[in-house]
Structure 1
Amino acid sequence: MSTAASSAATDSAATDDKGAERPRRVRRLGLPDGLRLRVPDGLRPYADPLLLYGAAKLVGTVVFAALLLASGSYREKNPRFGGGAHWWDVLATWDGWWYLQVAEKGYDPGPLRRLNPGGMFTVEQNSVAFFPLYPGLIRGTSEVTGLGLYGSGILVSVIASFVAAAGIYAVISLLAGARAGTIAAGLWAVVPGAGVEWAVYSESVFVAIAAWCCYCVMKGRWVAAGLLAFVAGLNRPTSAALIGAVGLAALVTLARRESRRKHGVAGPVYAMIAAPLGLLTYVAWVGLSMGELTAYFTLQREGWAHFFDFGSYTLDVLANTAIGEHDYIFAFSVPDLLAVQLVLALPFLIALMLRKRPPLVLVAYTLASIVSVLGTQQIFGNTPRYLLPCFPLLLAPAAAMTRLGWPTLTVFFAIAAPASGWYAHFVLFELGVP
């Protein structure tokens, strides 16, 4: 009875003498009162996660800058390989240098040029190893805004990182609630490898596409999912994991009668057909342009020493690390040690993710991405960066952290954000090769 009376009193209080309802209060998601913002209705759910993500990322970047200035080592390095006149130049070195070259000059896909045998690399490196979407966005942004290519590259990555954080929030909140989604967005700002999110690297663009593609699959928006997977194929070769996950989810949908009735046939079929076209088209173009159908893979293997070896290289690194040795290619002590710890944590993160029973598209995408990373010979210290797209692994930690109050969460992020300036930024760019 008291509940009914209270409800009636509330209804009465919400209506004035003329029967008109008072404006509803702004919906609040989870940050403390002092940090909540009033934003347009369509963006309101994303205000808290984006604020948390941006704050954590900014703190990490500031600490990274302070460490670079304190070290000064970047001033002594080649501007192409981790150096520059200013600390921020470091953010456009290594792969970033290649992306800026493509944005400025385009591609020059001539025949593969063989080098003298006996060295680590037997083929001359070529810019076609770097997919066109991100440098295309850099060039387009520069043309529209008037910014230089460096500034445009940073701008594209920063904007894409917020789109990615919003996508991660959207996916995780569907499975574990808005609070978990907000925490997951914050965690993505401080995970190992997060240093490339605000650098001239393509990870932020890829994760933005991947997160929203998975969201579209979960919501049954197959046309959008197919288009996003197609675009992802123009951004990174690792998009194969996303493309396969979309195709598998579409196939399972078609195989189930109830799913066919709900989603129809045309949408899933379209997604299956459209998803791989971007990746296949670019790889085929490289092959035709260089006079060798497998030119892209030859370039990766012989020009960068990156190739799928079924995990042999990963096992070699783990075995060497266990006995304190570094007798393997691309050895960097500090980044490798952090990467080993992350690899050892993967079985637990995978098991915890599976306990949450996420949709097939998330499971397939995550597992395929992990197999691709651990099964490939590449710079082992970059494993945290290569695993950055595996955002579904944040599901279980974010859900568990919802039990914590905001004071505890504030302490956590107040420690993790500045610490990430070292382990996710400085270690990646200055103590290793990103």
Structure 2
Amino acid sequence: MDGSVKGAVRGRGVAATATTAALAYAGTRLIGLVALAGWALATGRAPLHQLAAVGDARWYRTLAEHGYAAAPETLPNPDLSPLAFFPLYPWLIRLADAVLPAGPAPAALLVSWTAALAAAVGLFRIGALLHGPRAGLALAVLWGALPHAVVESMAYTESLFTACAVWALYAAMAGRWPAASVLAVAAGLARPTGVAVALAVCAGAAHAVVRSSRAGELPSRAPVLAAALVAPLGWCGYVLWAGLHAGAGPTGYFAVQRAWGSRYDFGAHTLRRAAAAVAAGQPALAVAALLTVAVLAALLVAGSRQGQPPVLLLYTGALAVIVLGGDGFLHSRPRFLLPAFGLLLPLALVVARLRTRTAATVLSVAAVLSALCGCYLLAHLGTAAL
């Protein structure tokens, strides 16, 4: 595995196809942006505002401009704490704004779009490693053509987190443990679900140590063990700091989350809501929940049968459990699942096996449908859908 990844990194042909994958992804998202701009202009809205100044984007811009000590009157909602938001994205917005003085909104979009392209290239690398370049290309485009992919082009953290996660797992599969641990730290500073990346890297490192011990390669254990120790520091460090900064002790971050209406209860709240909906003669929520879990489980099983590495399966499974097990923000869960790219690999392999013209048609239709879905989410449901 290690040698095949390193060979792929050095191969000129793969590099050229990675560029193609980045361009194909950019084209997919451009379709969505054109559709969104057309809808915004037709309804008297500013396209830039829709991308960089709605929903959570307002919080990230406020943090970039004022930091966590921002005065209550500068916050989108003075009754809620900005400590719920992890710091990496605001840091990068502030840096981009200092380098390119176009204002915080363009800076936020620049960071998000750059991260999205980096994620697309990483998705191609992983897909190409596991199933060949065609699967890598399909994986990158499919990620950009998901129903909620409009978020990848907005001033949200999904693109940045996905880029960190993709490259962290790629580095782990390549045996590049220092890079994997640093990227896991970055993922842990980007989103609460960064703990899934740290868990996967630590588990991969533990497996590598066991394997090297059996092979008698004791000198190679030190960097692997160091990576396992470093990987969780981003997530753990921010959670501890936020809790202490909130004045609620080491676990205070979770109190902040509860104030936002978010708490992890292993899905109990969702089950109660589904049962109540069934009792009220409205079983749609229960059916949707069951179908979602069934589809996710089926895609995980398909990925396992197709030979996905354990580190990738663990990351995807952990992310799905974290997202589905929370009791708040039910409407946002499709967005939270955007970084679960391992779920798309079985679909990417199916597309890769199609004839080139058929595959291009399938991906083009998906891109158009994603564009229409993005407009619908913002036009008819608003930021409450995100």
Same fold, TM exceeding 0.5? yes
Instruction: State the structure with more CA Rg.
Output: 1
Tell me, which stretches of 5 or more residues in structure 2 are unaligned?
Answer: 1-11
Does residue 267 of structure 2 align to residue 295 of structure 1? no
1:160 equivalent to 2:112? Answer no
Contact 2:147/2:369 (<8 A) preserved: no
Residue equivalent to 2:194: 239
| C-alpha distance in structure 2 between counterparts of 1:148 and 1:91, whole Å | 14
- Quote the residue 1:309 is aligned against: 265
Distance of 1:429 and 1:213 partners within structure 2 = 35
Structure 2 length-normalised TM: 0.87
Alpha-carbon distance in structure 2 between the residues aligned to 1:429 and 1:348: 32
CA distance in 2, matches of 1:158, 1:417: 17
TM-score after normalising by structure 1: 0.78
Counterpart in the other structure of 1:276: 232
Cα pair distance change 1:219/1:314, threshold 3 Å: same
Q: Does 1:46 align with 2:18?
A: yes
The match for 2:79 among 124, 127, 148 is 124
**Any residues of structure 2 matched to 1:3-14 within 5 Å, and which?**
none
1:88 and 2:48 aligned: yes
Q: Aligned-residue CA RMSD in angstroms? A: 2.8
Alpha-carbon distance change, 217 to 340 in structure 1, aligned in 2, over 3 angstroms? same
3-state DSSP class of the match of 1:265? helix
Aligned sequence identity (%): 37
Q: Distance in 2 between matches of 1:42 and 1:179?
A: 11
Query: Counterpart amino acid of 1:94?
Result: G
CA distance in 1, matches of 2:257, 2:39: 33
Aligned counterparts of 1:86 and 1:323: Cα–Cα separation in 2 = 43
Shift of residue 285, structure 1, vs aligned partner: 1.4
Q: How many angstroms does 1:261 deviate by?
A: 2.3
Q: Structure 1 residues 58, 325: CA separation in 2 closer, same or farther (over 3 Å shift)?
A: farther
Tell me if 1:406 matches 2:362. Answer: no
Amino acid at match of 1:130: F
Shift of 1:320: 5.7
Of residues 164, 168, 192, the one that matches 1:209 is 164
- Quote the offset at 1:258 in angstroms: 4.3
- Which of 373, 378, 382 aligns to 2:332? It is 382
> 2:227 is matched by which residue type in structure 1?
A
C-alpha distance 298-195 of structure 1, shift in aligned 2 (>3 A): same
| Distance apart, 1:271 and its partner CA | 1.0
Number of aligned pairs? Answer: 366
**1:67 counterpart residue number:** 39
Does the CA contact (< 8 Å) of 2:39 and 2:375 recur in 1?
no
Selected match of 1:102 from 63, 69, 75: 63
* Change over 3 Å in CA distance of 1:196–1:263 after alignment to 2: farther
- Work out whether residues 19 and 121 of structure 2, in 8 Å CA contact, stay in contact via their aligned partners in 1: no
**1:128 CA drift (Å):** 1.5
Paired position in structure 2 for 1:359: 309
Q: Which of 145, 154, 158 matches 1:199?
A: 154
Distance 1:380 1:425 in 2: 20
